[in-house]
Amino acid sequence: MMMTPWVLRIIIANVVMYFLTTASPALMSALTFVPEYLLFRPWTLVTYMFLHVGFQHIFFNMLGLFFFGPRLEMELGSKNFLILYFISGITGALVSFAFSASTAIVGASGGVFGVELGFAYFWPRMPIYIWGVIPVEARWLVVGMTILSIYGGMGFAMNGVAHFAHLGGFLGAYVYLKLFYKKYEPEAPAVERPPDVHREDVERWSKIERDKLHVVNREELDRIMNKLNTSGVHSLTAIERAFLERFSAQ
């Protein structure tokens, strides 16, 4: 699998921050998103995305980014990929704030879930192999993860998991792709409008003395005049009009 520039950089940044915050609990505390402190620590809307608690936490988030991120970055381009990733993560924090204001959150899940939704958005029928064995279409994987996140967010399962951040990641990516992302399409080349042709021009061309032309030019004149009579004056190319102009001026 080809690794793309920003997927690689995000993974490296997360791994570096994992070791730094493991060695410094104070740094972890300063960068964690705590909803009630949002106004005093707004940077945590972004920094929480680079923090993880335990090897399993970072491993599965980075694994998801590794599998889904490169193809999406190649599709969107690096700039739009980064916008989608950070919008997803920030929206994840805001949705968590709205529904679970007392819960501090860390982890790249919001951004990674946004990347997974982006993947399903462009390749909905692509099979994803759960545990490397069970094939599930990307669209149904997102639906299933949404249901599980809603179920967990209601307090029925998986305590300690930021379910609303996951849902916010899906929401942020979907809104960005639907409302703001515009796929680059090269503009069609401008078509030069042919010059206007008047009745006087056609009459002048029809008076060209055919018998005085060289045999090659005579044949070309016959071809062009036949085209003019059959398909109309606007079917003539600029070169054909120039030919008629040249010999009508003689």
Separation between Cα atoms, residue 250 and residue 246, nearest integer Å = 7
- Whether 227 contacts 240, CB under 8 Å: yes
pLDDT tens for each residue of the chain, 250 residues long: 578 999 999 999 999 999 999 999 999 999 999 888 888 999 999 999 999 999 999 999 999 999 999 999 999 999 999 999 999 999 999 998 888 777 789 999 999 999 999 999 999 998 888 777 788 888 888 888 888 888 776 664 445 677 788 899 999 999 999 998 876 555 555 444 445 556 677 778 888 887 877 766 778 888 888 887 777 777 788 888 888 888 777 6
Residues 83, 89, 90, 92, CA torsion sign: positive
- Residue ranges per domain, the chain? 5-180, 199-248
Residue at 235: amino acid letter: S
- Whether 124 contacts 69, CB under 8 Å: no
pLDDT at 185: 53
- Whether 137 contacts 124, CB under 8 Å: yes
Q: Say whether domain 5-180 belongs to CATH 1.20.1540.10.
A: yes
Prediction pTM value: 0.70
Active site residues: 109, 166
pLDDT at 199: 67
Q: Which of 161, 176, 117 is nearest to 142 (CA)?
A: 117
pLDDT at 193: 47
Say which DSSP state 212 is in. Answer: G
